[in-house]
Structures are given as C-alpha cells and as structure tokens.
Structure 1
Amino acid sequence: MTGTGGYPLQPAGPAKRPVWVVGGVTVVSFVVLLWLIELFDTLTGHRLDDNGIRPLETDGLTGILVAPLLHSNWEHLIANTGPALVLGFLMTLAGLSRFIFATAIIWFAGGLGTWLIGNVGAPTYNGVIVETNHIGASGLIFGWLTFLIVFGFFTRTVWEIVVGVVVFFIYGGILLGVLPGTFGVSWQGHLCGALAGVLAAYLLSGPERKTRALRRPVRPPSLNT
C-alpha cells in the first residue's frame, strides 16, 4: 500500500499515553505496593518492621533500602496514603525521569541522614540511648513536598512556581513535623527527607539553571584610565 507520490505508508505507532496518566498509574501502583506490604506484615506479626533504619548501627544501613516501604500499623499507613498520592502525582508532572531520580535521591540521601542523626533526642535509660527504629514513607513524602515547593524557583518556570506555592499553602503546615515534638514520630526522618528534597530539586534543575546562565549578557571588561 502506498501513499501520495508512491511512497509506502508507515504504520502508525502506538498512541503515546499522556504524562498524567502514566504518572497516576505509577504513583497508585506504588501506594498499592505499600498496602500489600503492610497486609503481609500484619499477617506475619509485624516482623518486617524490625528492618527499619537503626541509627549508627552497621546492620541498620540496610534499613535505608526498605524503611519507606514499612509502616508500624494501618493508621500509620493511612495517614501517609493521601499525601503520597497527591504529592507523588504532582511530582510526576515534572517528568517521569525526574520523578524517578528525585525519589531515588530523597530515598537514599534522606535515609542516610536519618541513619546518621536518628538517635538525636532519643530517650535514654540508665544513661544509655534507647535504640530507635525508623520506618514509614513520611521521609519520602517530606522530600516530595520540599521538592515541589522549591523546584520552580530553581527552574524559574511559571507553572512549577505556581504548583510550589499552592502545595505550600495546602501542605506547608506539615513541615512543622521536622521539629522535635510528638513521641514516637521520627522528626529526624522528616527533616532529612525534607533536606534531601531540596537537594534533589537543586540537582535536577541543573539544565534550566545552565540554560539561564548562558542567556545572561556578558559584560565587557572595565578598563581603568
């Protein structure tokens, strides 16, 4: 079969799915995974929860890989589900590759920070710090939150700035969770996740910052007379 002028017609490729559809499916799949893990954890007597981040312990380093996937109970998971769906979806609108890289930076940098300072402010017993075990997706959520708030100011993209401002007004209040306060809540994980989100936003805005720098006019050198 040929087209106009005798050239063979190229078969149409598969329709490309909109970014918001791919992003939505990705984030929902991640949250479903969290629920399946918690279901398995509940059925096995919460044995998985012991695999969180245990600060300054060598075997506690492996918790960096799995801590965001674990939750202490259903209430803990439910509290994280809504923000994870909303903020995770907004993250994907900046591009799926950026979402993946940002999540990886927040996951590992935030986890490492928690491993380093997770015992700060921990209770003591007979002068010995009580071992802490940090689990939950909150650190990741705090990282997504700060990423969304500051990313637009790094890229100078109007719609990303608007998203950041809106997100700040809706969810900014939870940033108080980076401060010591509620017993049993990992403010250290929140703080490290939030800082990792800012780091991810800065690193991943590199192409826009570089382009903006190249557009700046070069001032001629001043000559003294």
Structure 2
Amino acid sequence: MTATPTPSRPVWRTALLGSVAFVALLWVLEVVDQTTGSALDAEVFANGITPRDTDGLVGILLAPLLHGGFGHLAGNTVPLLVLGFLLLLSGVPRALAVTAVVWLTAGAGVWLVGAPGVHLGASVLVFGWLAFLLVRGVFARNLGQVALGLVLLVVYGGVLWGVLPGDPGVSWEGHLFGALGGIGAAAVLARPR
C-alpha cells in the first residue's frame, strides 16, 4: 500500500499564516513587556539598539521585536500584516532572506550613525519590505511586480517621508537603513532567473 501524498498548502495561505504569526509574536512580546514593567525592553533585551555602544550591539538582533508601547506596535501592525503577506507570496525562503538583509542592514546602520538614545521597533521591517516591494519589479523585469509596486506607492508612499529627520523620538535612521536594506535585497534577490 502506498502513501497518498498530502496536498501542499496554497501559497496565499502560507503567506497569511506567516504574516499573522509574526505580528502575533510581536503582540505577545509587547504584552509580556508591558505586564512585567518593560522588563523585555530594559533588562532582557538590553533596550534595543544603542548607537556606538558595545552593549547596544545585541539590539541589532532584537530591536525589531521590541516596541515602546501598544500604540507604537499598533501603528506597525497593519503595514506588517499587508507587506509581510505580499512578501511571503514570493516564497518563505525569499521572504526570510529579504527580512534578514533588511534587519541586519537597518540594525548596523542605526548602530553606526544613529542619534544617541535607544532605537527599537519593527518599522525598520515596514520600510525595508515596502522598499523591496516597490523596486523588485524593476530588478526582476516583471511587469506584474512593477504594477504592484505602483499600487503600494499610492497606498503607502506617504510613509516614505519617515526616512527623513522629523519627529523627535522617531528613528528616521532605522527607517532609512531599513529602506536601503530593502533596495539592496531587491538588487540581489529579485534579479530575473
């Protein structure tokens, strides 16, 4: 008797589950952080990225998982869900590679040139994923991806002003280096096959 192969999960379902699971993880971490008196931000994860301080290096790996409260995380939730879903439609391995490039580029850039203080939040991923999705069609020479990039530019283009210095307490450096990481990932990972 031979085993019947199990049907694979549709790509859109994997993308939906992946984006929801990641955002749910961020919410669980923030609930734990808020119910323990910001223990994750202050003690366990060493306050995110502290530029040019060796104690802040661990923040490069952990800062996108931390937020400055529920309002901060709420502001990132919908873009993370939408952009994460769209990114995951290109496959989990590619989405993970893009995320790794964005995560490390943003973290290293903030650590090297960021303003004094603590930098944290998943908005670096929002800016990186958005930048990747905006330009990947150009690098891939794919008209459908270019069209998606144009739609995203109309819907989310206004947030791109966040790469410029502006609001005190907002890490424009994280936004800028996240976006640069997304463009770099597109240049390397979205070339035509």
Q: 1:158 Cα shift?
A: 1.7
Q: Map 1:12-31 to 2 at 5 A.
A: 12-31=4-23
Of the candidates 110, 117, 136, which is equivalent to residue 132 of structure 1? 117
Quote the Cα distance in structure 2 between the aligned partners of 1:204 and 1:194. Answer: 15
Q: Could you say what secondary structure the match of 1:195 adopts?
A: helix
Quote the Cα distance in structure 2 between the aligned partners of 1:96 and 1:168. Answer: 24
Q: Could you say what secondary structure the match of 2:57 adopts?
A: helix
Of the candidates 100, 107, 110, which is equivalent to residue 103 of structure 2? 107
Residue 76 in structure 1 maps to residue 72 in structure 2: yes
Q: 1:47 Cα shift?
A: 2.4
Of the candidates 164, 169, 173, which is equivalent to residue 184 of structure 1? 169
Return the TM-score normalized by structure 2.
Answer: 0.95
For CA contacts below 8 A with separation 6 or more, give which structure has more relative contact order.
2
Higher-Rg member (1/2): 1
Of the candidates 142, 151, 166, which is equivalent to residue 166 of structure 1? 151
Return the letter of the residue paired with 1:25.
L
Equivalent residue, structure 2, for 1:34: 26
Quote the Cα distance in structure 2 between the aligned partners of 1:197 and 1:149. Answer: 9
Residue 154 in structure 1 maps to residue 139 in structure 2: yes
Equivalent residue, structure 2, for 1:46: 38
Equivalent residue, structure 2, for 1:175: 160
Quote the Cα distance in structure 2 between the aligned partners of 1:149 and 1:80. Answer: 18
Quote the Cα distance in structure 2 between the aligned partners of 1:205 and 1:146. Answer: 12
Equivalent residue, structure 2, for 1:116: 112
Quote the Cα distance in structure 1 between the aligned partners of 2:167 and 2:173. Answer: 12
Return the TM-score normalized by structure 1.
Answer: 0.81
Quote the Cα distance in structure 1 between the aligned partners of 2:159 and 2:113. Answer: 20
Quote the Cα distance in structure 2 between the aligned partners of 1:195 and 1:150. Answer: 11
Quote the Cα distance in structure 2 between the aligned partners of 1:40 and 1:27. Answer: 20
Return the letter of the residue paired with 1:160.
Q
Q: Deviations over 1:134-154 (max 9, x none)?
A: 010001110000000000110
What stretches of structure 1 of length at least 5 have no aligned partner? 2-9, 120-130, 212-225
Q: Which one has a larger percent helix, Structure 1 or Structure 2?
A: 2
Quote the Cα distance in structure 2 between the aligned partners of 1:161 and 1:93. Answer: 15
Identical positions, percent: 50
What stretches of structure 2 of length at least 5 have no aligned partner? none
Q: 1:11 Cα shift?
A: 3.4
Number of matched pairs: 189
* Superposition CA RMSD, Å: 1.1
Quote the Cα distance in structure 1 between the aligned partners of 2:89 and 2:154. Answer: 19
